[in-house]
Structure 1
Amino acid sequence: MSRRTQAERDAMTVEIGYALFSGGLVAVATFVGVSLPALLLDLSDGWDRGLFRAGAALGGLAFATRVVHVLWRFPRAGEEGRLPPAGPTRDVRRDSDP
């Protein structure tokens, strides 16, 4: 097993942070979207609790799904080769005169 470089470890840390942050945003949006009728409409207590619980459950599911989706797509150094370079690269091509 090869050791990871500092750049690879930093890239994974950034990817984990992005996955958690975007997962949190998706979870909040899902919770608000599901439980918004309970806040805007005059529903019975049973419906209010049901919508909030459904919003929390679906928000948690959306969070987990988003985190797994983002991290699953991240390239693994041992399986798919090294990570792409961090900065822009130049493609130097020289035209040969016949």
Structure 2
Amino acid sequence: MDGYGGRRNKAEQDAWTVEIGYALLSAVLVAGVAFGAVGGPALLFDLPPMLSTVLLRVGGTLAAVAFVARVVGVLVSFRQGAQPSQPGRTSPDS
């Protein structure tokens, strides 16, 4: 981008599109694991109704929080230009 409010070129648009897709897909997986870890026992086992309800609500809440946190984390990291480390290469600052 050419600065604040500037237009993005096609490559930058494509990079953002891919990153948004990755953020959403990985967030769905993280949320599913979070829900399964907490709410899964309520679905698999015959638990008392009150405990089952609590586990499902806590699992759903945890899944929603994990989803939002993952999406925000991935997109903020991408916006800041964070690059994974490259073993065996010297950084320009060294």
Shorter chain as denominator, the TM-score bin is 0.7 to 0.9
**Distance across 1 between alignment mates of 2:36 and 2:70:** 17
- Is 1:15 the counterpart of 2:41 in the alignment? no
**Distance across 1 between alignment mates of 2:28 and 2:44:** 23
Consecutive unaligned residues of structure 1, counting only runs of 5 or more, are 85-98
Shift of 1:42: 2.9
Instruction: Output the aligned Cα RMSD.
Output: 1.8
Q: In structure 1, what is the equivalent of residue 48 of structure 2? A: 44
Structure 2 counterpart of 1:57, one-letter code: T
- Using the size of structure 2 for normalisation, the TM-score is 0.75
Q: In structure 1, what is the equivalent of residue 39 of structure 2? A: 35
**Distance across 1 between alignment mates of 2:39 and 2:79:** 36
Shift of 1:38: 1.6
Shift of 1:36: 2.0
- Is 1:2 the counterpart of 2:6 in the alignment? yes
**Distance across 1 between alignment mates of 2:45 and 2:6:** 58
For residue 74 of structure 1, give the secondary structure of its aligned residue in structure 2: helix
Identical-pair percentage = 49
Shift of 1:2: 2.6
**Distance across 2 between alignment mates of 1:2 and 1:58:** 37
| Structure with more relative contact order (C-alpha pairs < 8 Å, separation 6 or more) | 1
- Using the size of structure 1 for normalisation, the TM-score is 0.72
Shift of 1:17: 0.6
Shift of 1:6: 0.2
Question: How many correspondences in the alignment?
Answer: 78
Shift of 1:64: 0.3
Shift of 1:43: 1.6
